[in-house]
Structure 1
């Protein structure tokens, strides 16, 4: 099995680009501490990828057969392209891996609800990421804006280690709603006290479209 497993690992090492790799292993439930350790301990990108998959397998279980491992890898890869329902992989992973995976999915869902300018302002105003915290993140991930934002989410998460991932999800959902509603109100201009949308008001002005917070998506576990 070891030879077949190595071949399967190297297949995904080859087809998942480095830019998407952290998201790939996060979808598998690998913890941030393991991701950071491997990046620190290995300078070769292919070896980094392989070692992360080896660590993931140690959490998934040494006695798992190749078919189960292959299914998990395939489902995580498909999630990069949004081609499968997350519950398929949720059912296969251990509780520990699933907990890591769920908070990662919440972060990525929030990131998908805003454009780049909105995300930077959201991180500074709602997540309370300071300039001193953001500067090294920008320097270390200069070519990957998505990873910069993800690291800012991690800054926020590390301040709330006492919260469950369910509480984190609810808190982030509240932040997103507050932020996007505030942006919407600013773009619409000052509102009149007691104003209610009239029948003539376009439906797009009434909390739909790109201002809709991803509340339903955050519940998809």
Structure 2
């Protein structure tokens, strides 16, 4: 394996609360009341346009665009107030620094760059690819552009994400799909999609990459996990 791509929200960072709050503000600004944070959370991973269509299917394109702009204004000012990096992310990215690492997100590239910088993660990635004017996941374009920027062929890469859109985008782009079970979708729902691997902890990625490279425990992360301590918490569903 030569390259790893990562979804951002629900994979590297727990940003659900900030996204839900900004979406609520956006809906309120365009006169849509009563949308709960729980409803927004249930649709995490959608583009803003698709989120609007899911929760307010009125077919009003102008109103939808006002919602998107209102969301972006609020998120730009408050988007990381309740956001945190998931446990093990920074250590794992350092352990995998021998690979080409990139981000492939539904966020705009500029927004993703800002969030990664604020969360102290930007330095770990050779490229950040947002969804700028082309179809979002599950369409594979964001994955293809990220791979092109990293100079990596699809057959030597994987996409790590937390929803069906990530798994489907990975398949469509011809890369392996690694699904984390702590983000937007449950382990059961993700397992039904048969990704290449299910990861209960982000740090389990090291073991999966090592198993594909023939070097278990790359970088020594998680030393001592084995007899008596439980093995790596991942399940390989198919190769």
TM-score over 0.5 (shorter chain) = no
Query: Counting helix residues as a fraction of each chain, which structure ranks higher?
Result: 1
Query: Counting strand residues as a fraction of each chain, which structure ranks higher?
Result: 2
Larger radius of gyration: 1
TM-score norm. by structure 2 comes to 0.29
